[in-house]
Structure 1
Amino acid sequence: MSRRGQTSRGGSQGDIPLLSFRQITSKSSQAHAKNILEALKQKEIHLPNAINWDWLGKVGMEEELTPYLVKECNMGDSTIICDGWLQLFKIQELIFAELCWEFFATISFRGGSEYYSPNVISFSLGGELPQCSMAEFAWRIGIYDQSAMLNEDFETFLENCHKDLPEEVVASTWWNTIANRVYIPSSAQEGHIRSPIHRLIHRFIASTINIRKDDDKVPTLDIFYLWSIITPDVFLQPSLLYSQISCGWGC
């Protein structure tokens, strides 16, 4: 088990039954999972410090963050509350290396836009091999509330969420609206962002979904996430996170 704010090295952990992947009946899939596992064990497990939401509330910054992290989407006769970013940034659970290795070595995301197809996402966890839809996975990890999923307009809502910057938005041009320097992906830094709230939002992005030790860098993917959060009426598309998760920490 690892605590937040610490870095640990993987390596040999002895004979752990969960990591033998006996529940995977396909020999080729089992061998593939074991290859990814060995690569994962060589990586550092770096966990960022937990976000202190109590402190943010006391100094009034949580109130300033709320309009960015909790948005309403009007869908005709119904309204969907999109608080996916807030829920994502508030995930602060204990991390068990063995379960992380098992999960990331086996997760598969089929892709596409079939949000309710029951076998789009599959993985091994605790020796089990569950399969689920994108919508269910989003609910299970707390990105969207189950009541939102059951809304008859939820699939339409997801289809209208952005998966990339729209054609009319150029990353370097948009960066100039929030920062003091010309955008160069290899050298752009969080400190160039003018607004303290926008800098804080970037720190959330860098230290959660894009876990990096050097949180100050602002690569192109960070620009998209920043734009998604800062821009009104733009909402979190879960499939983007699934694609990142299924990369298995870069393996």
Structure 2
Amino acid sequence: MAKQAFQQWYWSDWFGDTNVARLDPASRCVWFELLGIMSQEGTFQVSDDVSSLARATRVRETVMEKALQKIEEKNVAKVIENNGVYTVISRRLERETISRQQKTERQRRWRDGQRDAGVDADVDVLETSKKHDTRARYSETYKEKYIKENPDVERLIAAEAEEIVNLHPRRSDHRASVRAVIDAVWREADRGMPPEAALRMLRSRTVAYAEAVREWPPGERRYIKGALAWYQNGCYADDPATWRQGKEAETPFSGNHEVVL
């Protein structure tokens, strides 16, 4: 069993992230230490000065300074500096935190709706969620109602999803990728965006990502995210500015590749 909670849940996902793979070994070690701190504190960000962050992650200050620079350069996380205090924000953990909050709100609304309908609302929501996927039920109810009112929308979404996947710069399992796009459409619809608008957003973000990675240096293009993971993990919601890289290849990591901590 992994010691860190985030490693228990997302071991392969975190280590398979293409932006993380572009970090040098020392910066990668620092990043996973920072993720461990965020996980233990139950938050998606950590803030402190360089010396404190270095002590918390058990590295030298010079290593921490370089790691923060690389983490931002490689778009692994958002790094904000203010008067010597650095705030490191994991975009993925931020999205997952927001999703959990939205799920809690949906559960509350569902229970309130049951109360209004005269159903006993004293049933423990957590106990109920063990037997039923509340989020899926809420989403499926919305989806079924929308499809009933718009019979052609399901066929439209499936056809658009095929086209969107074909626009992605790195193909993976095609059928699974199409399914991931369809799921993303209904996920965004569940958050209040009309399915047609969600399709337009996914198409424009996919095109923007494809255009951005064309400018990446040849040595960096192997780190382009595959379509399936890109849609499943909600990477389309990232700031498009984080996808752009310089045209000149970066100088390879110097030294004998030893990690000095």
TM-score using structure 2 length: 0.28
Higher relative contact order (CA 8 A, sep 6+): 1
Larger Rg: 2
TM-score using structure 1 length: 0.28
